Amino acid sequence: MDLHSRYPAVSDLRDAARKRIPHFVWEYLDSATGDERTAMRNRTALDQILFKTSILHGEFKPDLTTTFLGRGFPLPFGIAPVGMSGLIWPGAEQMLATAAQDLGIPYAMSTVATQTPEDVAPHLGEHAWYQMYPPRDEAIRDDMISRARAAGFNALILTVDVPVASRRERQTRGGLTQPPKLTPRLAMQAAQCPTWLNGIRQTGMPRMKTLDKYSDFKGQLPSTEHIGYLLRTSPDWDYLRRLREAWTGPLIIKGVTQADDAARLQDEGVDALWVSNHAGRQFDGAQGAIDTLKQVRNATTLPVVFDSGVEGGLDILRALALGADFVMLGRAWHYALGAIGAEGPAHLADLLRKDMEANMGQLGTKTLPELAHRLL
């Protein structure tokens, strides 16, 4: 099967995945919060970033290589952390880690993945990042850091844009609970997706396995709250300082939504900023993330990562032109898994690469740093 003929765009992968993933899981993956206006603004703001095309520049092969945090990469994009990844597609964490290793790009694993750092360790490449939702208890935090380091993760991501749980009304209507349970209604949906269901039978019903080790701490929580609430704290600047002392490797702050925070974060000794509005999944009154990127880039000399609303190679070029040093995608990799399975991530990476090369050919830009000069 010629994958490029069948799935020539991310939208084709999305359409195919929707048919193979149960509805209640799809609503978890594809939803935002509120009326999903922030998600819409992400798309609208990206579409407003335009370029000047070029003529008579001759033939050339665009160079997509880049450096980030002192490391070289063949492509300027990677795999963002997505919670409960193995619920979306069984075995997703290992598949994505393996794909990232093969591609030479970063794989970022979520604290609330369905696998543990130890489970994923054999599949990690040299660019493994661990995303942390900040635990309340310092003992949990320190142990989690030690586990990530021992597993082979070499950069730590602190997510700071989840001070409280978001509502995600579409997800609630879909019927997903934590931990997930197959009610008769959801079981009927799962039965309509036999490949997904067979995979779940092999992996077991997904849960936040990393937190199993800390079950003794659950007594700290009200009886109505699941173990994931051990992570539900809103970190402050003192928390960041303690984390900076505890983690000796690169520290990336994810969820930067205001340029005003950039200078202070730089002063606190973080290594990179990650501009993101959680793809509209946390707050429905935010500006488009690409607009935030422009403001943050002007406020700091630190490397900057970007996500939120990226749907293809042109969007990656837009972010890079506006000052991002690296771009991360989350949903798209899961669309690829849902559509094709284990071969999906490699196809997506090739699709994005070809899209970037075609657009750079139109722009006459041989290297990524030239993109800024072609902005309209």
Residues acting as catalytic residues: 278
- Give the CA distances from residue 285 to residues 3, 37, 305, 323, in Å, rounded to whole numbers and listed in that order: 38, 7, 22, 24
- Residue 40 CB burial class (10 angstroms; 0-12, 13-18, ≥19): middle
Residue pair 317/72 in contact (Cβ under 8 Å)? The answer is: no
Q: Which amino acid would we find at residue 230?
A: L
Distance CA 327, CA 78 (A): 7
- Give the CA distances from residue 213 to residues 13, 138, 210, 337, in Å, rounded to whole numbers and listed in that order: 36, 15, 7, 29
H-type helices in the chain, by residue range? Answer: 3-6, 10-20, 23-30, 37-47, 85-88, 92-103, 117-120, 138-151, 169-174, 184-191, 194-203, 237-246, 260-267, 289-297, 313-321, 331-340, 344-363
Count how many Cα atoms sit within 13 Å of the Cα of residue 196 in the half-sphere of its side chain: 29
Peptide bond into 206 cis (omega under 30): no
Distance CA 254, CA 276 (A): 7
Helix (H, G, I), strand (E, B) or coil at 173: helix
What would the two tokens of residue 45 be?
A: 């703001």
Cα–Cα nearest to 231, from 131, 310, 320, 155: 131
